[in-house]
A and B are shown apart, each in its own frame.
Chain A
């Protein structure tokens, strides 16, 4: 039986500093990441929301140890739901996932800014640190709160996590290896080529337009044999390692998305009065119906992941410089150069969904396509 597992976190390294080659993270930090991932994915396994739900997840972390901060990091990477609304000029963002850290430290800010924890996320998401709010209008679907003491909360979806629970859950040689099948398959959407890249922007959420690309993905890309997510070629370039890990963080959310879609379908079936209505609902493809909400949720997740991986949005001067580059090819090369910078990577798409539609609308179709491909990927990976 083929072993589809890898240890991909080992290949992540710190950003270059002053031209000096990236250094590896310590084994303790890497082990904390595996512990946090295993525990958080298990704990959040059954958390799901409908697209019109007004609920949100609230995770309370009792402590500020390196392990608990790694848990905060993992929650930020995994807890993304379809009901997040980034708001607009007239409405505030709603249904963010709230992470509360209970600590007495005054320098918790500096600790969270470290690369191994939340990195750039802290600078752009809504934060309330001992009562001081910042970035209240942030378009990011994660909210961070730091308090000195925690009182009981009667919210519907409130999870309290203690360090001993995380430490006791971890099993070495089991949880420090990740099944990368879904990630490897998800990465292949970029190999489909013109069937997806030539889809015009017009009506980006019309799922019918992706049918040929989906067929190519299902019958050609998915049939290729499994390969290592981070092979020898990718290990040397930090950008490639981050892109590979991005597929893992993305596919970690697939189960949640599938559960949310199934839940909404069951809810509608339950509320049907007649058998004929139920028949109609069973014929409806709920992935098509909620494609826009799924794409927005996926973009929100991607933004958080990139900020944690060390990327940041363009600052004012960089934005002006980018806007003055005229010509699609030149602009593409310039943006690629910004992304590939090992010391301070910058990504043009780190913005709200509404802004993405203005700035880089052609890339939105990959989010839509990935969401449509989830059922096939899950089906494939459930086969032995």
Chain B
């Protein structure tokens, strides 16, 4: 026994597929031995049938014996395919996974066909109706497995899913990397280090998002959609002094390449200049793609201010690199607001009120009527 186990492990560890198949067969050596013994017995009984039928021969050539052999063969095939699927999932051998799981479907199909042929089930046969009822019952009980098999074929055929793909399945609140794909179940390691398993059919009937191409930098980039609420109290047209001061600032930062000097004039809205500056700065950022689109726009004003939305694509796809670049962009946005005399809106906090950062002016509002003291 130890010998078969060792040999099985040695072959399963091999790089060659035929060795792996042999190793998987040896893993269920007892099933293989039973099957071989059964086939030998069948052959002997079949040959002895002409010499004279005895009880053993009758058993061996009976339909039930043939069905038993067929079932043993199918069980062995399914067991071998499951072992191979484990190996292929680990080695990320996509074609191997497809073939091993498809072989299970083929084995089950051959089992059903074998059953019909062995027992010679025909329309006029008494077993036909019973088979129909049992078949419907089994199909109803295992409907999820059947759907899973269909989903598996669909996913593999259209290259929708591979090992290590990052997927999001909102229906099951799954967000992580695919680690195992079988006919019936998909196992995902979530980003919070938990593991989720869900039926393969869920990806066929429901919606899922595959983010792998994006993280592998195979697309235009990763979307950055961020809004900054600007305090409109700071919006104003530039005076000549402010225009000169802004030109000096732009010159010192070498930013005329993003905002031409001739556009910084008296009477221009500071928010407009900022939007133009930010647009050209992002258009020339080495980590931002101009395609498919780069939009810097004002959104609908709110009671707290007017949002300036940045809709861009960062060329870094991986989480850490993308977050780094996004953070650098946000930091620059916050720093450059000051050059244009703009401020982000922030609701006064407890600190602001307790430290008298909120002032109420003493000047009367101009709409109040003056009360004359007679």
Decide if B257 touches A316 in the complex (CB within 8 Å): yes
A320-B280 contact given A357-B315, A358-B315, CB 8 Å threshold: yes
A-chain residues with CB within 8 Å of residue B284 when the two chains form the complex: 319
**In residues 247-266 of chain B, which contact A (Cβ within 8 Å)?**
256-257, 260
Is the beta-carbon distance between A359 and B220 smaller than 8 angstroms? no
Contact A202 B219, beta carbon cutoff 8 Å: yes
Interface of B is mostly: loop
Are B220's CB and A361's CB within 8 A? yes
Q: How far is the CB of A222 from chain B (nearest CB, A)?
A: 29
Specify which chain A residues have a CB less than 8 angstroms from the CB of B8 in the assembled complex.
none
Q: Mark A341-370, 1 if CB is under 8 A from B, else 0.
A: 000000000000011011111100000000
B274-313 contact mask (Cβ, 8 Å, vs A): 1 or 0: 0000011001101011110000000000000000000000
Asked if A323 and B283 sit within 8 Å, CB to CB, the answer is yes
Q: Are A360 and B286 in contact (CB under 8 A)?
A: no
A317 within 8 A of B: yes
Rounded to whole angstroms, the CA-CA distance of A325 and B283 in the bound complex is 12
Chain A residue nearest to B292 (CB atoms) is: A201
Q: Known contacts being A201-B220, A323-B279, A358-B315, is A89 close to B260, with CB within 8 Å?
A: no
Q: Is the interface of A mostly helix, strand, loop or mixed?
A: helix
Q: B218 an interface residue at 8 Å Cβ cutoff?
A: yes
Given contacts A201-B220, A201-B291, whether A358 and B286 have CB atoms under 8 Å apart is: yes
A-B pair number, CB within 8 angstroms: 41
B280 surroundings in chain A (CB, below 8 A): 320, 323
In contact, A359 and B213 (Cβ under 8 angstroms): no
Q: Count of B residues near A, CB < 8 Å?
A: 17
Cβ contact of A201, chosen from B219, B257, B288, B290, cutoff 8 A: B219
Measured between beta carbons, the chain B residues less than 8 angstroms from A360 are 290-291
A358 touches B289 (CB 8 A): yes
Shortest Cβ distance from residue B297 to the other chain A in the assembled complex, whole angstroms: 11
Interchain CA distance A206-B279 in the complex, whole Å: 32
A203 within 8 A of B: yes
Give the CA-CA distance A203 to B317 in the complex, in Å: 13
Q: Are A89 and B286 in contact (CB under 8 A)?
A: yes
Tell me the minimal C-beta distance from B14 to chain A in angstroms. 12
Given A323-B283, A359-B290, 13 more contacts at CB 8 Å? A89-B286, A201-B220, A203-B219, A316-B256, A317-B260, A323-B279, A355-B286, A358-B286, A358-B288, A358-B291, A358-B315, A359-B291, A361-B289
